[in-house]
Amino acid sequence: MSHIVIVTGAASGIGAELVRSHIADGDQVIAVDVDSAGLVALQDRFDANWMRACSVDVRDAAAIAELVDETVAQHGRLDIIYNNAGLGIGGKSHELDVKHWDRAIDVNLRGVVHGTIAALPHLLRQGSGQIVNTASLAGLIPAPGLAPYGATKHAVVGMTLSMRVEYAAAGVGFTAVCPGFTDTPILDKEMPADLPAVPIPVSTRKMAESLPGGIYPVAALVTDIRRGVAANDALVVTPKAARSAWRTFRWSPGGFLRALQNRAAKTANKFARR
């Protein structure tokens, strides 16, 4: 049986690959993004019979609720919602102001909240369905230079696991996706243009390429996500290097932090932007 699936942040990266993967399985996908041009490009790749593109900002709670309600009214149900939209806000914390924090919270946390609370009543009435929230390895371990991003991703993990326990008996599943560095456009993006400029002294992509395991292919990540969702896993922590880092931090937080501090001192020079 085909599934009815909503994907936010669908125009690129993880979201676009989730759209492709579900359409390949014969599912009906509602692709959501604030990037209208990106959605048009995505629409050109797929048959309109299998995908509907919706230009909606996840920061708009009413618009997200309307989208979910319309989806259920049209299809009779909702099987999976991927609250995947997000952005990276980084830089030295003393150089960031409240506008940077507000944007990270509005998109990375409130955007997930909006999708979750819009979908949850429908899934409870059905007695089935899955809410899949994209967090990050930075939601499980410290992420120096990414304090707003890491804070919001920790919040997404906490929210997802709390709701998983709350609604397990009701037949509604919750999964938090916590990938390490993945080959998506977020590795190369600068600060959003409407926010105050902040020096980003380190190339995220270069740094990621130097780490154990390097950069994970997005198609491999989506395969892992789909497998985890099918199994109703609480957490999808991938690839192996990400699981190893998470495990090390849990075993020895102090040692892990010291290693991070030592690495940060070397990173500043080795991976400086040119």
| Residue 176 CB contacts under 8 Å (≥ 6 apart), including other chains | 133, 135, 139, 156, 157, 160, 161, 234, 235, 236
User: Residue 255, Cβ neighbours under 10 Å: how many?
Assistant: 11
DSSP letters along 142-167, please?
--TT-HHHHHHHHHHHHHHHHHHHHH
Determine which one of 82, 149, 167, 216 is catalytic.
Answer: 149
Closest C-alpha among 88, 121, 94 to residue 107 = 88
Closest C-alpha among 143, 138, 132, 169 to residue 155 = 138
- Whether the CB-CB separation of 147 and 100 falls below 8 Å is answered with no
- Whether the CB-CB separation of 96 and 83 falls below 8 Å is answered with no
- Give the separation between CA 113 and CA 111, rounded to whole angstroms: 5
Kindly tell me the sign of the dihedral angle through the C-alpha atoms of 132, 137, 139, 144: negative
- The alpha carbon of 214 is separated from its chain's Cα centroid by a whole number of angstroms, namely 19
- Whether the CB-CB separation of 36 and 83 falls below 8 Å is answered with no
82 is catalytic: no
User: How big, in percent rounded to 5, are the helix, strand and coil portions of the chain?
Assistant: 55, 15, 30
| Beta sheet of 80-83, edge-to-edge order | 51-55, 28-33, 4-8, 80-83, 130-134, 173-179, 235-238
User: Residue 169, Cβ neighbours under 10 Å: how many?
Assistant: 7
What positions carry a catalytic annotation?
A: 149
